[in-house]
Chain A
Amino acid sequence: MTSWVAERAATLGLSSQTAYALQLCMEEAVTNVISYAFDPGSVHEIHIRLWCDGEALFAEISDDGRQFDPLAYEVPPLAKDLDSAAIGGLGIKLMRGFAESIAYQRSGQTNRLLMSFPVG
């Protein structure tokens, strides 16, 4: 997926900043789906779509796993020191920081996550 996203980012002429945000959010979103929406060893499909309307870039990730809403995930508060720092929740933090908007929808048996990024 990494090379596919990089190729699409180049084709769409994205700035390096937007390309980075896209790569990062796609990796985090797909990793979350594989980690939380699927049972180990089960076979599923993840579909990813990218499109640009001139003002914004959109990335959609859909899968047939169990319901998983990353927006509902309670992100641990920022730790004040290393001892109390949680190892989890970093991916969601990055997605919320690097995507301009994130929307989640459960339709039937499908999770659909839509992220947008500014272009231009």
Chain B
Amino acid sequence: MAMEIATRRVYDVLVVDMGGRLDSHSSGDAGDRFVDIVQGDEKRIVLNLSKLDYVSSAGLRAILRGAKLLQEKLGELKICNANQRVGTALVTAGFDSLIKLYATEQEAFAAFRG
């Protein structure tokens, strides 16, 4: 299954929808695309993983790289809607102490406002 990345705007938040498999095959291109997005003008970005079926360490590194770049320009990345298996991978890798994880997009938006 190919990796899919799409963006949409919800008020002042840019939502990045990642779908498919984020693995050692796809993470190069997907990571470059994600870096392009975070290096744009946006500072509030929500990464919605509801359509992501699989993530490996290569994919996690791509997300981490983007989160670090965003923080360097005083922006913030939040992650939402990860399925149970992807969520377990995020927590196992320790991402829950680095990037805020939310069950829903609405909770991620509310956290920006709060």
Interface residues, chain A, with chain B CB atoms under 8 Å away: 2, 16-17, 20, 23-24, 27-28, 31, 78-83, 85, 87, 90-91, 93-94, 97-98
Contact = CB atoms under 8 A, between A and B. Distances in A.
Nearest to B25: A2
Contact of A28 (B56, B65, B97, B98): B56
Task: Give me the 8 closest cross-chain CB pairs, A-B, nearest first.
Answer: A97-B92, A91-B57, A90-B57, A78-B94, A20-B85, A27-B56, A90-B93, A82-B71
23 contacts: A2-B23, A2-B25, A16-B85, A23-B54, A24-B56, A27-B24, A28-B57, A78-B94, A78-B97, A80-B97, A81-B97, A82-B64, A82-B71, A82-B99, A83-B71, A85-B64, A85-B68, A90-B57, A91-B58, A94-B60, A94-B92, A97-B88, A97-B92
Nearest to A98: B92
A81 B76 CA distance: 12
Interface residues of B, number: 24
Interface in B15-65: 21, 23-25, 54, 56-58, 60-61, 64-65
Task: Summarize A's interface: helix, strand, loop or mixed.
Answer: helix
Most buried by A among B21, B93, B94: B94
Interface of B: 21, 23-25, 54, 56-58, 60-61, 64-65, 67-68, 71, 85, 88-89, 92-94, 97-99
